Structure 1
Amino acid sequence: MEQYRIAEIIAESIITDELAQVIFLKGPLARQETSYTVTLYVMVSEQQFAGFQERRNLYLSAYGSLVYQAYTDDLAIGIYENGLRIDLFSLKTGPYFPDDDILIIYDPQDHLANYQKFSSSFEPQEIGALLNSFCIKARDYQEAYQKKDEVLSFYLSCILLEGYAILKRIQFDPELAKLGLKYYFRKIDREEKLKFQEILRKLNLESSAEAVKRMFLGLDQFIGNLPIAIAEHINFEFYFDTKKRIMSIV
């Protein structure tokens, strides 16, 4: 895959300069999944950090000509003529707690030898927070809808779709729930897939309220079968009051 070739060429260029202490891929490519974006992290010592930042253009250009490039304090973005993209992140050496899967390319001093593999599942308290956030956004949706603010209410319904999808994924694919909408249909059963597709069909300016109502109907099944460890973090009163408000929309 050409994306790995980009990572290899840029990593070799960085290693040659002897500025990096750790280099690793993060995200889909670390999981051997397809992605047009190469997300590459470089850990650099405090003393070498400024020198590394100054040479980021050379590293990005090592693979080929750039049609676009942009730089911030910790990120260099490059897009190549073949459409592939590199996001080159720079970190100062220190403890690192990954929020996604990583694949170590270079770590001669074993800085990441004891890193904890990223978990794609949610903790019980996180699930409670997700449901609360969904309900708060649903109340925002209700207000926008009743004010006949079609654009805002449609926008909020799309945000609700993502929250709904994550909560439902906790039900049928808990180990990968943090992936959100990525590869959403891989493990979903036929009945749930049909329900989700129906919500998608209703998600437009004219029928967004129907889509949001169906989300709550789907969540009823979710919260009705929660284990005690998760249920004790759920604010059922807040959820059902929010559902009542949404179902009252006419």
Structure 2
Amino acid sequence: MKQLEAVNTMLDVIKNDSAVRAIFLKGSIARNDLDDYSDVDFYCIVKEDQIESFLERRLDYLQQYKPLIYWSESNFVGPQIVAVFNNGLHFDLYTVTFDSLHHTDEIKVLYDPEQLLQDYTPENLTINKDGVIRCFHEFTFSLLEFEAAYCRNDILWASRLASHLSGDISIILRYLYDEENARVGFKRLHKSLDERLYKKMVEAMDYCGPSYLPKGVQLLTEIADEIMDKLPDEISNKLNKAFFYYMVEKINRLKYNGNSKK
């Protein structure tokens, strides 16, 4: 696969850089979930006093694999190059130090002569109970904003708010059915849902487009109502259900107002 070919090429080149202390992968390769569409999350742990010089060499290293058709710089967990090669492969090259390393997600160690990563323990991507409560309340408040946008016929904004609503629901669903990855939300959520709930979520999102509102949001409130009762009592008992059902009633009274393309 092109991902593994790129990883092996970059490993052979970068491990000989004197600034580099260790190299590892995160993402789908590290989780043994690689497919033809996966990107590569390639991490280099470098010496603190040589980080600036290493950053200057990154593009040269990347181009040892194939020509780049796109690249940009970011700083998500550390200096990062977001690269796309001329074969379409998306390759993220991260630069961190040992002290700045975040213990999130599984890793696959490629090079570690100092055994820096032997005690690496990944933190899971769950959220705590207060986070679930906050997410549910944000969902309810977004219903209020959606209603206002829809009633004033600001359909594009209403559709965007519907997208926010589906995002909140995805996190709560993930908490229920794949708690360790709750923060991931939508990504690979389909693997955690039974067929009935998956189809209902797909239908809701189909109808969150501008031409079909408010049906999509009404379906999302049905899903929210269903899963609310499945949450643990220590969460369910702290939800503002009065506000939620007040908004559900208002959303269900909304009528389709002919938003199809003219």
1:192 equivalent to 2:175? Answer no
Describe the shift of the 1:239–1:114 C-alpha distance in structure 2 as closer, same or farther (beyond 3 A): farther
> Residue type of the partner of 1:43?
I
Match of 1:113 among 112, 118, 124: 118
1:66 equivalent to 2:68? Answer yes
SS at match of 2:66: coil
Once superposed, what is the RMSD of the aligned Cα atoms? 2.2
Matching of residues 1-250 of structure 1 within 5 Å: 1-33=1-33, 34=35, 35-72=37-74, 74-250=79-255
Tell me by how many angstroms 1:95 deviates.
4.8
> Residue type of the partner of 2:92?
D
- Name the CA distance, whole Å, in 2 between partners of 1:68 and 1:225: 45
- Name the CA distance, whole Å, in 1 between partners of 2:11 and 2:22: 10
Encode CA deviations 1:193-229: one digit per residue, 9 max, x unaligned: 2322321332221322111111111111211122123
CA contact (8 A) 2:28 2:38 kept: no
- Name the CA distance, whole Å, in 2 between partners of 1:233 and 1:156: 24
Encode CA deviations 1:20-50: one digit per residue, 9 max, x unaligned: 1222211122112224421112122220101
Report how many residues are paired: 250
TM-score scaled by length of structure 2: 0.85
5+ residue gaps, structure 1: none
Describe the shift of the 1:219–1:56 C-alpha distance in structure 2 as closer, same or farther (beyond 3 A): same
Describe the shift of the 1:22–1:243 C-alpha distance in structure 2 as closer, same or farther (beyond 3 A): farther
TM-score scaled by length of structure 1: 0.88
Bigger RCO (CA 8 Å, 6+ sep): 1
Provide the identity percentage: 24
5+ residue gaps, structure 2: 256-262
Does 151-160 or 182-191 show the bigger shift?
A: 182-191
> Residue type of the partner of 2:60?
L
User: 2:258 maps to what in 1?
Assistant: none
- Name the CA distance, whole Å, in 2 between partners of 1:151 and 1:161: 16
CA contact (8 A) 1:10 1:63 kept: yes
Tell me by how many angstroms 1:88 deviates.
0.7
> Residue type of the partner of 2:113?
P
Tell me by how many angstroms 1:3 deviates.
0.5
CA contact (8 A) 2:68 2:83 kept: yes
Tell me by how many angstroms 1:72 deviates.
4.5
- Name the CA distance, whole Å, in 2 between partners of 1:232 and 1:18: 56
- Name the CA distance, whole Å, in 1 between partners of 2:73 and 2:195: 45
- Name the CA distance, whole Å, in 1 between partners of 2:30 and 2:108: 5
